[in-house]
Structure 1
């Protein structure tokens, strides 16, 4: 029976996302969520999330591209990619940002993250991944790190899946192996966030599921107060994950929902 973990990204980005995540945790639809600790909402929302720390994996959604306020250290994604691949990133500033985001997490939740990943997958970019792995070794990190090394490629999104793999997934996996950091075995959830039939996508991902398939998702209950280019897709995902069809689809595909951190990874 394949084990599938649904992880909601972007916790604390806005209240509509957080409300969706809390509801889906209560329904048993989510087994993990990944947190943006630079958000002004973080402290209050994290105190509500803390009660679920024993039942789901709560991770750090490392951010270097989303701007919360004038103090946020970030780059536009294209610029960050260019600087990463040309090795023009300031290592000291990257290390400082990782430390600050980590400290915000630990200060409020009173524990290390169960896992670490990256907003827009920046945790696997050159320079950033090496600094992150060294930082986690210093922290004696015992959790897992998101891997895109083995993505489930579903038509018509094969190119996007392969592109995201090429943006450093294999190298990050080698670094994790050398440092004895665990990772998920499979990864899914990649599509173009257009108005599509999300339940069909999930059913296709289920059909390819093996042990420890991590499916990223981005649910929200409604239109946010701040700009969000994918809010329509977020609502679509939320509607499916709150439906009875979701659980029927899991049963029909012999899927067991479970935490990545709940197993010997």
Structure 2
């Protein structure tokens, strides 16, 4: 019996090289879909390129609250218009130094840019550096979709990953209570989250993918970050060369052979 696994690429829209690599893999049937970052100047062009895949791929919103330019400009969230690093985000929100309304406004702006460019709501929502697990973002999700019957799916909490237990545990702690609360509000949760590894050790990506082939349940999700390195990516994000490695593994003949051998297929984007 064939089993399906869900492979979702993060960071569509981060840079042209990242977007091109993701589109290539979607077109070849090597990804279920991708989460979009809508805050960059190139978003409208990137959205036009992915629009033809709306009926075959899962196209989601990758909420971004760290390290990039804020759509809404300067605020308590983004002094001088730049979003803070993750280490400077969670505690200041809890202590009131970052106003919740500034967070809500930024999330609204990113969501509205998705709607305007693609003409419909995202199939799912997750977060860059897992910011969708933060209390302020949970509140936004509950408020924004309080009266919607067709809510987007949400990426849920992870399992402990072999070789990345510390990182997995930190994400799981951030996600504590998320699955239960969001299910209770009527959201579909994609869980467990897999694909967590130390990207500074790119040789660990292929084993993490193989583990997903062997064990990932159909309700789960494997996140990945394929891409091609270009000047824009180098200016925006430290995760660079490893994206080429992920792209090569996902696009390889060997990956297809391993899927066939295990009786596994990549889930259709509209399941």
- With normalisation by structure 1, the TM-score equals 0.91
1:122 to 91, 115, 131: 131
**Bigger shift: 178-187 or 12-21?**
178-187
Identify which range, 193-202 or 13-22, moves more after superposition. 193-202
Matched, 1:199 2:199: no
1:18 and 2:19 correspond:
yes
Counterpart-to-counterpart distance in 1, 2:253 and 2:25:
12
Tell me the distance in 2 between the aligned counterparts of 1:147 and 1:245. Answer: 29
Partner of 2:241: 232
Q: Give the distance between the partners of 1:28 and 1:158, measured in 2 at CA.
A: 30
Matched, 1:172 2:178: yes
Q: Pairwise mapping of residues 182-193 of structure 1 onto structure 2 (< 5 A)? A: 182-193=188-199
Stretches of structure 1 that go unaligned for 5 or more consecutive residues are: none
Quick check: 1:84–1:128 contact (8 Å CA) kept in 2? no
Partner secondary structure for residue 111 of structure 2: helix
Q: Which is worse superposed, 135-144 or 234-243?
A: 135-144
Which string of whole-angstrom CA distances, capped at 9 and with x for unpartnered residues, describes residues 187-216 of structure 1? Answer: 111011023142222112222222222111
Retained in 2: the 8 A contact 1:87–1:126?
A: no
Pair 1:242–1:143, CA change in 2 (3 A): same
Decide whether aligned partners of structure 1 residues 42 and 14 sit closer, same or farther in structure 2, where only a CA change above 3 A counts. Answer: same
Task: Determine the structure 1 residue equivalent to 2:112.
Answer: 103
Distance 1:129 1:136, change over 3 A: same
| Structure 2 partner of 1:35 | 36
Contact 1:199 1:246 in 2 (8 A): no
Matched, 1:249 2:258: yes
* Counterpart in the other structure of 1:46: 47
The farther-off stretch of 118-127 and 248-257 is 248-257
CA contact (8 A) 1:65 1:77 kept: yes
Computed over aligned residues only, the root mean square deviation of the Cα atoms, in angstroms, reads 1.9
**Runs of 5+ unmatched residues, structure 2:** 74-80
Whether contact under 8 Å (1:3, 1:257) holds in the other structure is: yes
Q: Does structure 1 conserve the Cα–Cα contact (< 8 Å) formed by 2:56 and 2:269?
A: no
1:85: how far off? 4.3
Cα separation, partners in 2 of 1:34 and 1:87, compared to 1, 3 Å: same
Following superposition, the deviation at residue 139 of structure 1 comes to 4.9
Structure 1 pair 131–13 and aligned structure 2 pair: CA distance change class (3 A): same
CA distance 1:76–1:141, shift in 2 (3 Å): farther
